[in-house]
Structure formats: structure tokens, C-alpha cells
Amino acid sequence: MGILAVIRKEWFIIGIVLVILSAKVQPSFGVRGGPLKPEVTVAYVAVALIFFNSGLSLKSEELTSALFHVRLHLFVQSFTLVFFPLAVWLLLRVLAFTAIDQWLLRGLQTVSCMPPPVSSAVILTKAVGGNEVTNSCFFTLRGIIVTPGLLLLFLGSSSSVPFSSIFSQLFMTVVVPLVLGQACRSFLREFLDRRKPPFGTVSSAVLLMIIYTTFCDTFSNPSIQLDPTSLLLVVLIIFAIQISFMLLTFTFSTRSGSGFTPADTVAIVFCSTHKSLTLGIPMLKIVFAGYQHLSLISVPLLIYHPAQILLGSILVPTIKTWMNSRQKVRAHTRTHTR
């Protein structure tokens, strides 16, 4: 694969590195009150644009398919929005006794509260040939409702921002744009399905702007330092969490009597363990507005995103081979029992 091909495929991850470096070089441009005016352009315009884009792209007409796979959806939602946050919370009770930076540990908790992503988990599931009925619209709508509550439950809010202000901004920059996007989609559905606009690319580009301004605030404050040892340990913890939870969901969904097909297991493994960066960063920006250490809280989520794609891509051939062999065994068994 050539360099240009790699850049085209991984432009977003490369972009994250570049905007963080840019913020380091010239933080004054993106700080609050600076030329970019992030208190308006990011806090309201950029976040609202991401969720309007989400509303425009969500295929709510496919929600009916979820009604026929209730057990699958119930398992994924329960694991990712109940078990995952609680398990990480318990892990952090132990890690609190270590020397790992407390803000990075809080960032791990924020990762656990995020919903599954709209894209990567479904793409990997499709690459293996798993069950694609794990509807991204269902994940997004549930995540928008549940995630802010989980963040406030496990971490509280910024002391400088009252709860009424948080929920007011969530309503104006998340709910209203999402509803408007869905309303526009009802009129433009045929056009959107035919032309297939690059919704993901647009949201990712806006997300880079949000990440840039977040780190501008950090680098403009010399009292905030990122401990390299803590960062390395958090990277290792993230990979350990992902691998452990993928093995856990695989083991549970393949046990005797689970009722899940091999294709269901593939969807469960990816969708239960992946977390959304696109929805996560804007929500953190709202719920933790005023936190000096917002960028440090965001770091684990920025690491988790490429880590889940890397692990998933490595495991696709192995999981695909397993699924095909299991499906052949199931087909052979059904043939001989007739």
C-alpha cells in the first residue's frame, strides 16, 4: 500500500496527531477568547453541526428491524452501557492506589460511558459477514439519551457549570439539531440514498476542530502536564480492556444455550466493545465545560478509537474463519437431523 493510499485510509487518525501538534505550536489561536472563538464556533456551531449531520444520516426507517432481534440488541446495549461502565469503575477503584495520572483515569471512565460508534463496529461486522441488524440509529439514539447521564453519575460535572446549563446546552446543541436532521431526512431520503453524501467525513472534519481547540486550552496552561509513564500505562490498560471484553463477549455469546448464531456473536464482539469518538468528544465538551483538564480526560478516548480499529482489523480474518466453520457445522447438523 502506497503512502497516499495510507493517508487516504487513515486521514482522520493522522489528522488527530496534526491538530494536537498544531495546538502545541500555536495554542493562542484556538483558546477561549482567541481568534477562532471556540466558545461559539465549537461549543454551539460545531457540536450542533455534528448532531445535525447525525440526524440527517440516521436511517430511522430501519429501526423496525431491531424489533425482530430484541435479545441481540438487549445484550449489546446492556453490556456497553451498564456492564462496561461498572466494570471500569471497579477497576479504577484499584488503579486509584497507583501513580497513574488521575485525569487519565477519569478519561478511562468517560470511555466506558460512550455508546458504540456509528461506523467502525458495523464496518468490521460487515467485513466478517456478521449480523448487520445491530442498527447504528438505535445505538446513537440510546447513546445520546444515556451517555450524559452516565457521565454525570460517575464523574459529576464541572463545578463552574450548573446542571441546568448542561442540560440546556445538550438540548440545544444535541437534541434539536438531531431532530432537525431527521426532519430534513424525511424530505430528502431518496436523494440521500441515491447520492450517499460523505456524512462520516464531514463529522470527522468538524471533530478535528473540536479536538484542536480542546488541546489549545491545555497547552496555553503551563501548569497542566502529561506524564509519559501514565500515558504508556493507560495505552496498555486500554488494549487489555478491549481484549478482555472481546473475549468475555465471545465466551458468553457462544456458550451452550445462549441462543445466538455465529453471525450474532460477531456483531456482539465488535458492537459491545467499541466506543464512539464522534459522539463522545462533543458530549465531553458540553458536560465538562470549564474543566482545565478536559484534554487529559479526552486522551483515553482518542487512544481507544484507533486501538479498537487496529485490534478489530487484525482479528477480522480469524473471526471470519471461525464464523464460516461454525456455520458449516450448523448447516451439517441441520441436514442430518431432518
The one-letter amino acid code at 81 reads L
Q: For residue 62, what is the DSSP state?
A: G
pLDDT for 241 beyond 90: yes
Cα dist from 154 to 36, 41, 82, 93, 109, whole Å: 32, 29, 12, 12, 7
Sign of torsion over alpha carbons 308, 310, 313, 317: negative
Query: What is the distance between the alpha carbons of residues 301 and 170, in angstroms, rounded to a whole number?
Result: 20
Contact 275, 114 (CB under 8 A): yes
**pLDDT value at position 217?**
81
**pLDDT value at position 300?**
93
Per-residue pLDDT reduced to its tens digit, 299-328: 999 999 888 888 888 888 888 888 888 877
**pLDDT value at position 122?**
63
pLDDT-based confidence at 63, cuts 50/70/90?
low
pLDDT-based confidence at 159, cuts 50/70/90?
very low
Q: Give me the percent of the chain exceeding a pLDDT of 90.
A: 20
pLDDT-based confidence at 132, cuts 50/70/90?
low
Residues with Cβ < 8 Å from 274, sequence gap 6 or more?
116, 117, 120, 121, 308, 312
Per-residue pLDDT reduced to its tens digit, 216-232: 887 887 777 778 999 99
**pLDDT value at position 236?**
96
Q: For residue 46, what is the DSSP state?
A: I
Ordered by where they begin, the domains of the chain are 3-336 (1.20.1530.20)
Per-residue pLDDT reduced to its tens digit, 250-287: 999 888 887 888 888 888 888 889 888 878 888 888 88
Report which of 279, 278, 275, 265 is spatially closest to residue 309, judged by C-alpha positions: 275
Grid coordinates representing 194? 441515491
